[in-house]
Each structure stands twice: as C-alpha cells, then as structure tokens.
C-alpha cells in the first residue's frame, strides 16, 4: 500500500510538473497555450474552407441534376438527327450507285459497239 501511495504521489507530482513546463514559454517566447490557440484557429479556418467547398460541391451537383434532363434531350435529338442523316445518306448512296452502274453499263455497251 505504501508503494502505491509513493507511486500516486510521484504520478501527481510528475503531472503537475508536466503541466507547469507545458505552459512555460519556449525559446521563441511562445507558450504551449499560444501554440494550441494557433492550431485551434487553423483548424477553424480549415473547417470553414471544407464547409465552403462542400457547399459549392452540393450547389454544382444540384445544377448538374437540374441540367441533366436538358442534356439528355439534346443527346436524344442529336441521335435522331444523326439517324435521319444516315437514312438520307444511304438513299443518296443507293441512287448514286445505281447511276454509276447504269453509266458503266452504257459505257461498256458503247465500247462494245465501237469494237464491232
């Protein structure tokens, strides 16, 4: 029991000495309390910046969500226009191929007639 009292007394004296030394100024004249105050202010500033960033991200997400239907409609309209253009191009390609075939046939006939 006596050892426990000595240990307890030593622990309390060590804690008290640590507390005293913790609040003594360092070589720059700043106390631990001042360092803790600066750290707390830095933490508050970082927290505010994080909240501001989060707020901006939420606003951007809301804008994106509100503009997404319009963007989807634009993509849908573009796909429709591309499909319509493809169909018209296919018709024109078929028409031109038929014309090429007809001209080629006429040219072959003319060449055959000129050889005879």
pLDDT, tens only, 46-98: 999 999 999 999 999 999 999 999 999 999 999 999 999 999 999 999 999 99
Sign of CA dihedral 55, 58, 62, 64: positive
Q: Are 31 and 23 in contact (CB under 8 A)?
A: yes
Spatial separation of the C-alpha atoms in residues 43 and 35, rounded to whole Å: 12
Q: How far does the chain reach from its first CA to its final CA, in angstroms?
A: 135
- Range with the poorest average pLDDT among 11-20, 82-91, 102-111: 11-20
Please give the residue that has the higher pLDDT: either 27 or 79. Answer: 79
Smallest CA-to-CA distance from 22 within 8, 10, 34 is with 34
Q: Is the per-residue pLDDT at 20 higher than 80? A: no
CA 35 to chain centre: 36
Q: Decide if 94 contacts 87 (C-beta within 8 A).
A: no
């Amino acid at each position: 029991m006596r050892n426990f009292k000595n240990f307890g007394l030593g622990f309390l004296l060590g804690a008290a000495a640590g507390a005293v030394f913790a609040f003594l100024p360092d070589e720059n004249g700043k106390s631990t309390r001042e360092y803790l105050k600066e750290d707390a202010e830095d933490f508050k500033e970082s927290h505010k910046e994080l909240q501001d960033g989060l707020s901006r991200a939420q606003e951007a997400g809301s804008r994106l969500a509100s503009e997404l239907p319009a963007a989807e409609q634009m993509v849908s309209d573009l796909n429709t226009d591309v499909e319509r253009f493809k169909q018209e191009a296919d018709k024109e390609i078929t028409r031109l191929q038929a014309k090429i075939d007809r001209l080629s046939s006429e040219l072959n006939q003319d060449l055959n007639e000129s050889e005879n």
